[in-house]
Amino acid sequence: MEAYLGIDVGSVTTKLAVLNAEDEMIASLYLPTAGSPVAAVQEGLRQIRRELSSDVKISGVAATGSARYLAGAIIGADLVKNEITCQAVAAIREIPDVQTVIEIGGQDSKVILIRDGIVTDFGMNTVCAAGTGSFLDHQAARLHMTIEELSRRALFGSGAVRISGRCTVFAESDMVHKQQTGHNTDDIIYGLCRALVSNYLSDVGAGKDIQPPVVFQGGVAFNRGIVRALREELKTEIIVPLHHEVMGAIGAALLVHESVPVSSSRFKGFGISEIEYQASSFTCNACPVACEIARLADDERVVACWGGKCDMWEDKVLNQGA
């Protein structure tokens, strides 16, 4: 059975999605990157393989996410695409008339404006993480509860407590102060959700014309408190797709299905999950820029080099047939 694999490797989580020839989901996976994207991709391939029937043939594979070049080199990707394109394609497939995509992950967030099925503008977070999932993870740990419990209890908060959302440091000190003055914990939790949304809209969404339908994607969309806060702040319905956490991977799979002819995939096969790779880096002295180049190798050869301002090292690896 013809199938297409999309892999989205982020800083916090790695997502995989397999679509059939009709672009229907037949398998998906969401697992922590845990600081090791190579190991996460290999583990993802091992797990997703067990979910597929023996007659499934991967006819195309694409990589996206912050570690997309690394993932693409490992798997033999037919296509490597940025997250904006993949998230937008998946959203349009799910909600054809979507005008705004809000995507919040563990350490990055983005807004994508779509008009008549075309991306017209986008924005991404700065170095601040106060508008991302790590903000809530940190505060949940401070409250000695799981992120699932925080999500549930946020629905019972009254909205009476305002927490500074300028950064995690201010938010934590503000939260401690509210606890010390005896405010209800559920109100504090919902205040944290509102702080994340406020930071997101003032940073990522600054100056953006956010129009409905609004689709909310990414792992943070699991948090019902954030969905509630977005709905109240934007004063519109927030659509959360069924597979919101793997939409980047879905978009990658959709794109590779469109662009790669059947039987011409460069996919290296699921056996690459058992290969031992060595990661290293070096400084390129070919010019005064002195780029730091990342390098991935197996026992026999250099598989990939990336990270330079030019494509010199990427081209060298390609010319060697890697």
Give pLDDT tens digits for 69-87: 889 988 999 999 999 999 9
What confidence category does residue 55 fall into, taking pLDDT thresholds of 50, 70 and 90?
Answer: very high
- The predicted pLDDT at position 321 comes to 47
DSSP state of 171: H
What confidence category does residue 318 fall into, taking pLDDT thresholds of 50, 70 and 90?
Answer: low
What fold, for 2-87+248-274?
A: Nucleotidyltransferase; domain 5 (3.30.420)
Q: CA 135 to CA 193: how far, in whole Å?
A: 10
Residue 211 confidence (pLDDT) above 90:
yes
Residue 316's H or E segment, with its range, is: helix 312-319
Q: Is the dihedral of CA 174, 178, 179, 185 positive or negative?
A: negative
Residues 6+ apart with CB under 8 A from 120: 113, 114
**Structural domain spans, the chain:** 2-87+248-274, 96-240, 278-319
- The predicted pLDDT at position 142 comes to 82
Mean pLDDT, range 180-207, rounded to an integer: 89
**What's the burial of 254, exposed, middle or buried (CB within 10 Å: 0-12/13-18/19+)?**
buried
Q: CA 73 to CA 70: how far, in whole Å?
A: 5
Residue 88 confidence (pLDDT) above 90:
yes
Residue 315 confidence (pLDDT) above 70:
no
- The predicted pLDDT at position 277 comes to 85
What confidence category does residue 322 fall into, taking pLDDT thresholds of 50, 70 and 90?
Answer: very low
Mean pLDDT, range 233-250, rounded to an integer: 96
Residue 32's H or E segment, with its range, is: strand 25-32
Options 3.30.420.40, 3.40.1360.10, 3.40.640.10, 3.40.47.10; CATH of 96-240: 3.30.420.40
Q: CA 251 to CA 254: how far, in whole Å?
A: 5
Strand partners, 240: none
- φ, ψ of residue 63 to 5 degrees: the values are -125, 145
Q: CA 101 to CA 197: how far, in whole Å?
A: 14
Residue 15 confidence (pLDDT) above 80:
yes
- The predicted pLDDT at position 227 comes to 96
Residue 102 confidence (pLDDT) above 90:
yes
Residues 246-258 have pLDDT tens digits of: 999 999 999 999 9
More confident residue, 136 or 213: 213
> Is residue 32 within 8 Å of 14, Cβ to Cβ?
yes
Pairing state between β 118-124 and 79-80: unpaired
CA geometry: angle at 62 spanning 115 and 263, to 5°?
Answer: 115
DSSP state of 269: -
